[in-house]
Amino acid sequence: MKAIPYGRQSVTQEDINAVVEVLNSDFLTQGPAVENFEKKFSQFVGCKYAVAVTNGTAALHLAAMALNVGSGDKVLCTTNSFVASANCVRYCGGEIEFVDIDAKNFCIDIDLLEKKLRSSPPKTYKGIVAVDFAGYPVDFERIQKIALEFGLWVIEDACHALGANFIDSKGIKQHSGNGVYADIAVFSFHPVKHIATGEGGMVTTNNPAIYEKLKLLRTHGITKDPSLMSQSDGGWYYEMQELGFNFRISDILCALGSSQLTRIETNLARRREIALAYEKGLEGLEITPLIEKNKEHGYHLYVIQTPRRKELYEYLKARNIFTQVHYIPIHVQPYYKNRYGEQSLNVAESYYSQALSLPMYHSMSDDDLNFVINSIREF
């Protein structure tokens, strides 16, 4: 019996041809394929600027750096995410305060976020990191309104949400990560995501000053632009103006990303088909996630809730169906417990105790999908 993973990449001959074309070109890195991918990505998302980087974690780190997170800066962050969503602040010397999640959508509880800000002394916090968990498009319009009132910046971790969108109060469709309601957004191109580059990430923004800083920090903090340098000794001359990193992504991976991006609408449509099949196939079990009007879920993950999580996990594994758990709350990780002490975020902890991510990937066959559904019903 073949294995059914919780997620996997899909690579076509067109993808292979795109990579081979770069391998036969003059540039394997720092060439035109990078800018081409950035341009196509920004057009799809609907943002002004996009900066391609080595992975989603690097994207988060650059975002925090570009927003000048420094020692002692306190940032509010959801606890239901991969650890990188909080780590990016710690990399820059900032401190994290975790916010519990909404029991309906498993994302940051915006009511609780607002309550925390209103009950705290002015200027306690510098920013907010919120995550479009599983591909659910968070109401960043409301988050931005709160942030502006309290003078905070906003990072949208959209690593799960490429192609997700919601209708704002003006009736306009807003794509996750388009920069309209967040200062910076980040994406990941890990193989289990909507498009894959192997490893890779993207930072998006509509702010030109942030864009220029992101580009500088991506490449060691070095510029070769004569208009920005204090002097120039010749065409070879460069200046390191900030302490940056080598977070550059190669042309090889960007060629793969551009090729994969041509199928993003098809990939999204298939993921939504799979989600609808799960919803119908598991009807009556009261374990499926929230579906709302005026929101199009990206379905990076399809997370169910069951009090018999471990038993179901083992039952499916015995049938070669491999599920996963997303995520262990960040605030219970030993590093964060040691730094901030024990915390009780009851909704996130209750969610984690019952969460199970079912197989969700756009190349999943109907036969495999039905086998998963029937196996769950039989359990």
CATH number of residue 359's parent domain: 3.90.1150.10
pTM, rounded to two decimals: 0.97
N-to-C CA span, the chain: 19
239 and 291 assigned to the same domain: no
270 and 334 assigned to the same domain: yes
Per the structure, the complete domain to which residue 338 belongs is given by 264-378
Domain for residue 4, yes or no?
Answer: no
Domain for residue 5, yes or no?
Answer: no
SS (H, E, C) the chain: CCCECCCCCCCCHHHHHHHHHHHCCCCCECCHHHHHHHHHHHHHHCCCEEEEECCHHHHHHHHHHHCCCCCCCEEEEECCCCCHHHHHHHHCCCEEEEECECCCCCCECHHHHHHHHHCCCCCCCCEEEEECHHHCCCCHHHHHHHHHHHCCEEEEECCCCCCCEEECCCCCEEECCCCCCCCEEEEECCCCCCCCCCCCEEEEECCHHHHHHHHHHHECCEECCCCCCCCCCCCCCCEECCCCCECCCEHHHHHHHHHHHCCHHHHHHHHHHHHHHHHHHCCCCCCCCCCCCCEECCCCCEEEECCCHHHHHHHHHHCCECCECCCCCHHHCHHHHHHHCCCCCHHHHHHHHHEEEECCCCCCCHHHHHHHHHHHHHC
Domain for residue 111, yes or no?
Answer: yes
> Which among 261, 288, 311 is the end of a domain?
261
The pLDDT of residue 289 is 74
Sign, Cα dihedral of 328, 332, 334, 340? positive
226 and 99 assigned to the same domain: yes
The pLDDT of residue 5 is 97
Domain for residue 39, yes or no?
Answer: yes
Are 224 and 298 in contact by the 8 Å Cβ rule? The answer is: no
> Which among 219, 234, 261 is the end of a domain?
261
If one counts the domains in the chain, the total is 2
Are 359 and 323 in contact by the 8 Å Cβ rule? The answer is: yes
Structure-block tokens of residue 130: 């919120």
Q: How far apart are CA 287 and CA 278, in angstroms?
A: 10
Stretches where the chain sits below pLDDT 50 are: none
The pLDDT of residue 180 is 98
216 and 307 assigned to the same domain: no
Q: Which domain CATH number covers 122?
A: 3.40.640.10
The pLDDT of residue 294 is 87
Domain for residue 7, yes or no?
Answer: no
> Which among 246, 261, 276 is the end of a domain?
261
The pLDDT of residue 332 is 98
The pLDDT of residue 104 is 93
268 and 217 assigned to the same domain: no
The pLDDT of residue 246 is 98
Q: How far apart are CA 12 and CA 16, in angstroms?
A: 7
The pLDDT of residue 325 is 98
231 and 348 assigned to the same domain: no
Chain-centroid distance of CA 346 in Å reads: 24
Domain for residue 66, yes or no?
Answer: yes
Domain for residue 283, yes or no?
Answer: yes
